[in-house]
């Protein structure tokens, strides 16, 4: 909550100075013309951060308005989401429904959130999604989806290099890279320009591979453990080094997400560290690509190697909304129509037990399902890191990628940042 209050105070000052205006780029649904649009009974403001489903979110809002002509859904998909969300509260323009990303965010925002524990869809939430949205026994979120990430790989390029099965140990991963190089194939072009690729998803692994990830994080918070004590921190750096050695080296720090995805989808690279959300972007570039996803190993014990699976975000409701019940009604409608929107339109793996995946979700979702069925998954432990650390962790690791810091220096800086954000 500390970081949120600081941001709120700063945003409040900015709002006073600028009359509450922001310069955030938004995608916004067009309100239909006619008397109902000119004098609506209810306007619900909905904020969303997942830019890759902008059009789908706007289409969903239009459909709801068509079925509920006395309601306007002011749906906005924001690029500078976190700052814009805080600023909207500071400016007295708080949304009715908005999305947040992690358990830490749920904790930070919990004083402002409506308790959704009694909603009819709550009993259908997948058990794995419940813990990340529960604060002091109150269930505060509507899970958007379940996602996973690992190394996505090109099956044809693997076959060309003589790789017959995906690696399950770090030694096998090194052998795969050597075979690819011998065949003249570049292994990686990693998007380390993006904070979340490096400082969130990749760094999550050594935390998530602990026997009790959340317990270990709590021990760090109490000063009983340090980041250097992570059992697989060396394995993390070994894999990071591999992506540099068999990829773009120090230039990786300048590779964007779009460039990373394009390089993979166009066959320039054999692998990329990404997740199920990339499916549509890859297929737009290369609809015929044969691909799969495997868990990233950090040790030489194949039993250790598991896929990180988690909820990327939750819809939450502002408890002070003037249209609280209408906002809850919208979420009920979204669940009732979840197969159409959450699954078929958003192309998401549902976080509800009464919704089901389809073949259209593709091979990455199929691999996620296989890991889950084999009980070989690990959590998104970064959801329990102190608020404000992830982007700064990324800057530290970017400095490592760029050769500015060595391993010991990088780990020491990660520890310093952790302590600075946790009191």
Per-residue pLDDT for 35 more than 90?
Answer: no
Q: pLDDT tens, 256-305? A: 999 999 999 999 999 999 999 899 899 999 999 999 999 999 999 999 99
Q: What is the mean pLDDT of residues 88-99?
A: 95
% of the chain residues with pLDDT over 90 = 75
User: Taking the model in full, what pTM does it have?
Assistant: 0.79
pLDDT of 103 reads 81
Per-residue pLDDT for 229 more than 50?
Answer: yes
pLDDT of 126 reads 87
Residue 416 CA to residue 189 CA, distance in Å, equals 30
Q: What is the mean pLDDT of residues 215-237?
A: 97
Q: pLDDT tens, 162-183? A: 999 999 999 999 999 999 999 9
Domains of the chain with bracketed CATH: 2-146+311-354 (3.40.190.10), 148-310+376-421 (3.40.190.10)
pLDDT of 183 reads 98
Average pLDDT over all residues of the chain:
90
pLDDT of 196 reads 93
Q: How confident is the model at residue 6 (pLDDT cuts 50, 70, 90)?
A: very low
Per-residue pLDDT for 26 more than 70?
Answer: no
Lowest mean pLDDT among 23-27, 356-360, 379-383, 415-419: 23-27
């Amino acid at each position: 909550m500390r970081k949120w209050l600081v941001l709120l105070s700063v945003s409040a000052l900015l709002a006073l100075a600028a009359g509450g205006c922001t310069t955030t780029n938004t995608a916004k649904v067009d309100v239909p013309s006619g008397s109902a649009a000119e004098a609506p009974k209810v306007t619900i403001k909905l904020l969303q951060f997942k830019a890759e489903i902008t059009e789908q979110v706007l289409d969903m809002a239009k459909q709801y308005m068509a079925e509920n002509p006395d309601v306007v859904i002011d749906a906005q998909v924001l690029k500078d989401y976190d700052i814009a969300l805080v600023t909207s509260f500071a400016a007295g323009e708080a949304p009715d429904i908005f999305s947040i990303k992690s358990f830490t965010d749920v904790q930070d925002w919990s004083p402002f959130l409506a308790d959704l524990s009694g909603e009819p869809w709550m009993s259908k939430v997948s058990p794995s999604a419940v813990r990340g949205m529960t604060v002091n026994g109150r269930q505060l979120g509507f899970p958007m989806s379940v996602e996973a990430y690992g190394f996505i790989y090109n099956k044809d390029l693997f076959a060309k290099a003589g790789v017959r099965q995906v690696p399950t140990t770090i030694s096998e991963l090194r052998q795969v890279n050597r075979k690819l190089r011998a065949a003249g194939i570049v292994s990686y072009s990693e998007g380390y320009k993006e904070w979340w690729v490096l400082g969130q998803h990749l760094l999550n692994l050594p935390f998530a591979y602990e026997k009790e990830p959340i317990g270990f994080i709590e021990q760090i918070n109490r000063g009983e453990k340090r980041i250097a004590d992570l059992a697989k921190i060396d394995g993390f750096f070994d894999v990071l080094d591999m992506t540099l050695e068999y990829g773009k080296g120090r230039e990786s720090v300048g590779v964007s997400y779009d460039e990373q995805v394009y390089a993979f989808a166009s066959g320039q690279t054999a692998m990329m560290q990404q997740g199920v959300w990339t499916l549509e972007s890859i297929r737009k570039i290369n609809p015929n690509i044969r691909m799969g996803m495997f868990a990233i190993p950090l040790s030489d014990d194949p039993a250790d190697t598991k896929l990180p699976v988690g909820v990327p975000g939750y819809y939450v409701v502002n408890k002070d909304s003037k249209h609280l019940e209408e906002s809850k009604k919208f979420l009920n409608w979204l669940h009732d129509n979840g197969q159409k929107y959450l699954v078929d339109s958003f192309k998401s793996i549902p976080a509800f037990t009464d919704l089901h995946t389809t073949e259209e979700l593709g091979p990455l979702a199929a691999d996620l399902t296989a890991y889950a069925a084999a009980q070989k998954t690990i959590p998104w432990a970064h959801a329990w890191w102190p608020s404000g650390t992830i982007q700064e962790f990324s800057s530290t690791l970017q400095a490592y990628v760029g050769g500015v810091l060595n391993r010991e220096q990088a780990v020491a800086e990660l520890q310093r940042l952790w302590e600075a954000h946790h009191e």
